[in-house]
Copies of this chain bind each other. A is one copy, B any other.
Amino acid sequence: MKLKELSQRGGVPIPTIKYYLREGLLPKGDPLGETKADYGDHHLDRLRIIRSLVEIGEVPIAVIRQILAAVDDETVPATVLLATALSALGAGPSSDAAPAGDRTGAESLIAGQGWQVSPGSTAPDQLAAALGALRLVGLPADAAQLAPYTRAALEMAGHQLPLLPDPARREEFAARAVIGAVLYDRLLLALLRLAKENISMRRDGH
């Protein structure tokens, strides 16, 4: 199909598609003369995936580029692809002024759970940063205090992972993992806020 048809069927304006092509998110089409190119169903699938990551997941373009690079590298096994996609999402901002992470605490918590960590994962760094900051402000963060959190994390992970498609469909697998993570994270944080408000309202006798 031509660019115009790709744009119509994918629901993405032509200038945006050209931007994705320049940024390497979308592979180039087969050249048809000097200025035109032919696009296949694979382009349409990928365009739809980029669109849902941008519009629903609100994932930054630079992050999508990292995820798609891992998708396209067939030497990356599915487990590492999952970890890479989730690592690319990251843990939000971290300034230079951020306190030092508690590496030892993170490692001992992970070892205590007997959890396997994927090569290249940044999740232990995120955990170390959160633990270091909690310690700094004097909020409890020892293994016993964190038991409800690890339990909840395992239960929710066990709920989310079976929703993923066959890892052989790498593109869809990674995209669903990212969108699922973004949306269920948001859902969880909204519920957590509501639960706090509820407890606080009841305590005040409402």
On A, residues with C-beta under 8 Å from B are 52, 54-56, 58, 77-79, 82-83, 86-87, 91-95, 97-99, 110, 113, 115-118, 121, 123-124, 126-127, 129-131, 133-134, 136-137, 139-141, 145-146, 148-161, 163, 176, 179-181, 183-204, 206
Contacts and interface: CB of A to CB of B under 8 A. Distances in A.
A47 to B, nearest CB: 15
B193 A123 contact: yes
Contacts of A95: 55, 58
Total copies of this chain within the assembly:
2
Given A91-B186, A133-B183, A137-B183, A154 B195 contact: yes
A82 B195 contact: no
Nearest to A116: B201
A152 B161 contact: no
